[in-house]
Chain A
Amino acid sequence: MILFIVFLPLLAAIIAGLGNKSIGAVPAKLVTTGALFASCALSWPIFIGYLMGTTTAGVTPVLHFIQSGTMDVAWALRVDALTAVMLVVITTVSALVHLYSWGYMEEDPDQPRFFAYLSLFTFAMLMLVTANNLVQMFFGWEGVGLASYLLIGFWFRKPSANAAAIKAFVVNRVGDLGFMLGIFGTYLVFHTVSIPEILAAAPGMAGSTIGFLGYRFDTMTVLCLLLFVGAMGKSAQLGLHTWLPDAMEGPTPVSALIHAATMVTAGVFMVCRLSPMFETSPTALHFVTFIGAATCLFAATIAMVQTDIKRVIAYSTCSQLGYMFFAAGVGAYGAAMFHLFTHAFFKALLFLGAGSVIHAMHHEQDMRYYGGLRKQIPVTFWGMMAGTLAITGVGLPGVFGLPAIGFAGFHSKDAIIEAGWASGNPGVWFVGVLVALITSFYSWRLMFLTFWGAPRWAASEHIQHALHDAHGHHGDEHHPEEAHGNSPEAEDAGEHPHADGAHHEELPHGTGGYHPHESPWSILIPLIILSIGAVAAGYVFHSFFIEPASGEEYWKGAIAYREQLMHAMHGIPTWVKLSATVAMLIGLGTAWYAYIRNADFPAAVADQFRVIYRFLAHKWYFDELYDLLFVRPAFAIGRFLWHRGDEKTIDRFGPNGSAWIVVRGARVAGRLQSGYVYTYAFVMLIGLTAAVTCVIAK
């Protein structure tokens, strides 16, 4: 069963990829989409089996991989409660994204390649979550990195897409450096890379010390932190997050699948998978909490001022991943996984909805050129609405004796915020609440700018193109989603006092005669299905993931379980329970005031706090800083070593020097013609033979 789930997508990817144009777009799409729906159909029964408590964990061996001494690695597929969650998330979102791409990529000439990459990605991700040892996990880890690289750079003619693809791969490799060293260290300590064996042995190593880079540290802290660096890279946490916003260069379905629902959550998955190991190092857990909370806040602040619809959602993803990490850091692994689960549905929904908006607006991604789309594309609107209600955590808190009921994010995010309080960490709790407010603000800002207000479409270049060219075909030169937001000029435009929400004051009003059309059914069906998930996933599944009794029964030891914390979460004060909801309402009110009631307000604020605004609009200057610190020096040092090191030093005093002496001495320079090479070779041979003969004859 699990073999089919994992290997069908690989098979489909090979068929579509190698067949490519010779088998045509439709067969390639049928094979890949069919394989994914089959995988999905096989995955749900497994998950339901765990929910009912009828299935137990198991490992399916596939093939021998590496055996080097005690380092014994096999290809094997592990299924337990944790894997089951990931299986349904991955296959469901992937199947829907495949379907969605039928409509979204309709006009692209390279569809077989696109679908092959999507299926390849799904295979790698499934290998990651079914890994029973760290090396196979690393295989999946790198495999998804490759697929991500290929899909970000799918429109390979676009320089910005290529740059983003390389950036994603290389920044992830920085994380992989930590992951690899973590595996080496783990093997050194435990003499195995098998995850169950490591987790069993980890508590026994608590309190030991190990040498690392000449100093001695707590063993488990070193190992956990090294592995966590890998998680930071893949999950775009503070410091290694810079690739994720740029990854929006890829087609929107890719952003939904890889950069929202699945791949970026691999880091969270890894921490949960290794949670018994992290439990042995309080220092490592504090670090995880800190990084999670910091990313959560940092990314949310940037999301407030972005104008590109996809970038808002990208930073929002970054921020939500931060939530998951701080949940894991305070020991609420169930809550982290629950948020991962619900987030997959509502964030994929938001991205796919954004894709539908972009599709309707003829590849325009800048929200400043949207407005009033509510009536034009109603299905998309309601889908996005469901996603927004889910991410902002709308719901009735379970206080005053009422049952807690709400949209997906309400259950999962509030659980994380409550866990922050219950773990005795008010600072973390406060960050959680503050970010809930900001999340609500930027999410509603996106909704209001896009769907409410007067249309501001006429000023968009993309719309102008569409109006001039009724069919919207621009030949091969044109690629969808030529983002506005990523060139320095466009960013600087954002600093303009009248930028942002107030932009329509100076832009020509109106529709310009353009009529946005609702997307085809292949796009709308995934939106509708995901909307159901965004509405109901929280309420339906929360008892399995986070309730003390049923949760423990569900997880069956697949993640570390702190019973005390779970009970503490139930005893928290009412005002704490209400806090996230209140924060959400304040955010909603502010967004409503700023983008509907008084549209001059954002510009006034931006003007008032120019420095802060600019700092946020430039994403805290991380890209500029890294460019200055790493990219430029690497090239400069490379040039220096090449010219000064190799050419001017080593060659000058080495071979050129000796050649000069030889040449001068023998005056053979003029005779070094190609014809003489034979002679030289012959002399070498004679000399060699003579020397050897001389020795032997003795």
Chain B
Amino acid sequence: MSGFPILSIMLAVPAIAAIACLLLSAENARRVALVATLVDLALGVMLWANYDIGGAQWQFVEHGINVGRFGWDLGIDGFALLLIMLSVFLMPICIGASWQAITTRVPEYMAAFLFTEVLMIGTFAAQDLFLFYIFFEAGLIPMYLIIGVWGGANRIYASYKFFLYTLLGSVLMFVAMLYMAHTAGTTSIPALMNYDFPSGVQTWLWLAFFASFAVKMPMWPVHTWLPDAHVQAPTAGSVILAGVLLKLGGYGFLRFSLPMFPEASAQLTWLIFALSAVAVIYTSLVALVQNDMKKLIAYSSVAHMAIVTIGLFAFNRQGIEGAMLVMLSHGLVSGALFLCVGVIYDRLHTREISRYGGLAINMPRYALFFLLFTMASIGLPGTSGFVGEFLSLMGTYQLSTGIALLCTTGIILGAAYMLYLYRRVVFGEIKSDDVAAMPDVSTRELWLLAPIAAVVLWMGVYPESFIAPMRKDVGVLLARIDRATPISDSRPTAGKPAAITAAHEGAH
């Protein structure tokens, strides 16, 4: 594969297709978009197949044109590989989900999605600080359009809120990046990952990055844009928002905050832990009382993302690998849940939970898929949700038992709100004729849901496929942050078996 610029091609294919879409009719735009995303998926599979697990840290490296300090530098490690795979996997599904649901301005819509794909892949593949920044921030623009143009009734408010939230974080992060480029004299991300900033400066830089990543994540209390954005976005918009865009924050912590500012990360772990623990309990309880399906899943996303942040800041292997797996799993599962909502929204045009009920009667196949994704969201072992959540919480336990206890309550609350949702939508009696008239999932919808279901089970039964590519990178990261690892609150002492055995025998 040496010399073959596969990453650039993966960026070029959707970019060219996007421009082509703008010039085509609705029907042709759909086809071009689908083909382009499938080609990118095929390229992604090639990328994974040729990725040398355990080999060089950065692979498929490309050094393109250089303008001043700015360079077209691409390259991926295991983390980036997995997140690129997630993006290219979800993208054809998004196009398929929009096949019939979107009828206005189809060429523009398809172009917006293809641009999103370019920017997502670019974000994960960028090795230059400013190249990353452009991809990272510009990724919001198509999303902003998708919500603002093809969204629901209250779309303007939602897109405006989305924009305002992300704006502040971006500005601070940009300033921090300028400082870093100036001080370190390089904009190469791999170089910066090994550059030691003075610890006083680290804290400020960390906070500036945190402002951006916390919003993207989203962490409590800057999460309120997410429910509105999801509710207003079209189905495919929600899928990509939950599936990939929410992973940008986690990727940012992994790529920038932890390796570039290890001391600051250790110092501020308490902040991450506190916000995450609040988020798990707070948003789970809020999810419990939602009447809107999309809002409920959006709030559950905030709770899941909190499991990601505690895992990342656990400073150990289980935590980081678990956090990555939660990101991947959540991308698949919440995406699939939004698709499930979309399936019935397309039929009845409402997201009001109380309008549904008894779908198991007339939509048994739908009920099965929805059950699988519900269980994956709850973290049932055997599905993708379990492995990540388990490892992430296990990692956290090694640092703080209290935070692990608080966040593990998420498994109880998660079961409560998801099963309560499932019961109201799928179980019970059919309450009205229009619900009774809803047909089961069509072949097209089956093609959207079945691949995700397969991967969810794959990741649940044999997660090794997904852990192996990042194993070495976690090791590199741990080696970098090891010096700052906070002290655990457990610290078991050595046993005194003899003394206890004697006392024990005496008791009987």
Contacts and interface: CB of A to CB of B under 8 A. Distances in A.
B391 A170 contact: no
A696 B69 contact: yes
Nearest to B299: A642
A621 interface: no
Contacts of B382: 139, 142-143
A209 B493 contact: yes
Instruction: From A21, A180, A214, A639, name the one whose CB has the most chain B CB atoms within 10 angstroms.
Output: A180
Nearest to A180: B408
Nearest to B148: A677
Contacts of B224: 646, 650-651, 654-655
Interface in A563-600: 564-565
Contact of A208 (B381, B461, B494): B494
B318 A68 contact: yes
Contacts of B200: none
Contacts of A678: 145, 149
A169 interface: yes
B189 interface: no
A157 B496 contact: no
A159 interface: yes
A691 B497 CA distance: 67
Contacts of B508: 423-424, 562, 564-565
Chain B binding surface SS class: helix
A677 B495 contact: no
Contact of B161 (A183, A279, A659, A692): A659
Nearest to A203: B497
Interface string A176-216: 11001101110111000000000000011111111111100
A156 B428 contact: yes
Contacts of A651: 161, 224
B405 A146 contact: no
Contact of B360 (A21, A156, A674): A156
A696 B67 contact: yes
B99 interface: no
Interface in B463-508: 463-464, 467, 488-497, 499-501, 503-504, 507-508
A279 B178 CA distance: 61
Interface in A153-179: 153, 156-157, 159, 162, 165-166, 169-170, 173-174, 176-177
A677 B381 contact: no
A206 B405 contact: no
A641 B286 contact: yes
Interface string A550-562: 0000000000001
A685 to B, nearest CB: 6
Interface in A508-533: none
Interface size class for chain A?
35 or more
A658 interface: yes
Interface stretch (B249-257, B343-351, B411-419): B411-419
Interface in B304-352: 316-318, 321-322
A692 B149 contact: no
B456 interface: no
A674 B156 contact: yes
A230 to B, nearest CB: 12
Contacts of B386: 139, 142
A71 interface: yes
Contacts of B161: 651, 655-656, 659
B141 A684 contact: yes
A375 interface: no
Contacts of B358: 157
Interface string A629-663: 00000110111011001100011001110110010
A20 B364 contact: yes
B80 to A, nearest CB: 20
Interface string A33-54: 0000000000000000000000
A402 interface: no
A695 interface: yes
Contacts of A135: 381, 390
Interface residues of B, number: 99
Contacts of B420: 166
Contact of B489 (A21, A142, A211): A211
A674 B149 contact: yes
B429 interface: yes
B64 to A, nearest CB: 15
B447 interface: no
B70 interface: yes
B197 to A, nearest CB: 19
A1 interface: no
B428 to A, nearest CB: 6
B120 to A, nearest CB: 17
A156 B427 contact: yes
Instruction: From A68, A562, A677, name the one whose CB has the most chain B CB atoms within 10 angstroms.
Output: A68
B156 A672 contact: yes
B397 A185 contact: yes
B150 to A, nearest CB: 9
Contacts of A181: 397, 401, 404-405, 408
B405 A213 contact: yes
A153 B360 CA distance: 12
Contacts of B387: 66
B423 interface: yes
A219 interface: yes
Contact of B428 (A71, A157, A169, A282): A157
Interface stretch (B13-21, B33-41, B130-138, B263-271): B130-138
A672 B163 CA distance: 14
A162 B427 contact: yes
Interface string A665-694: 000000011100110110011001101100
A32 B361 CA distance: 23
B294 interface: no
A280 B416 CA distance: 36
B491 A210 contact: yes
B289 A639 contact: yes
Contact of A138 (B138, B141, B149, B381): B381
Given A67-B467, A173-B411, A212-B401, A695 B428 contact: no
Contacts of A470: none
Contacts of B155: 674
A184 B491 CA distance: 13
B164 A658 contact: yes
A674 B144 CA distance: 11
A26 interface: no
B467 A65 contact: no
A58 interface: no
A680 B138 CA distance: 13
Contacts of A184: 393-394, 397-398, 404
Interface in B196-254: 221-222, 224-225, 227
Given A67-B464, A674-B155, A214 B402 contact: yes
A63 interface: yes
B394 A153 contact: no
Contacts of A662: 164
A209 B492 contact: yes
Interface of B: 67-70, 130, 133-134, 137-138, 140-141, 144-145, 148-149, 155-156, 159-161, 163-165, 174, 178, 181, 221-222, 224-225, 227, 282, 285-290, 316-318, 321-322, 358, 360-361, 364, 375, 380-382, 386-387, 390-391, 393-394, 397-398, 401-402, 404-405, 408-409, 411-413, 415-416, 419-420, 423, 426-429, 461-464, 467, 488-497, 499-501, 503-504, 507-508
Top-6 shortest CB links A-B: A207-B496, A184-B397, A677-B148, A638-B285, A139-B381, A69-B317
Given A71-B394, A173-B411, 14 more contacts: A66-B391, A69-B317, A166-B420, A181-B397, A184-B398, A206-B504, A207-B496, A207-B500, A208-B495, A678-B145, A684-B140, A689-B134, A692-B134, A696-B67
19 contacts: A68-B391, A71-B318, A146-B375, A156-B360, A157-B358, A157-B361, A185-B397, A205-B495, A211-B488, A219-B492, A282-B504, A564-B508, A646-B286, A651-B224, A655-B224, A672-B156, A674-B156, A692-B133, A695-B130
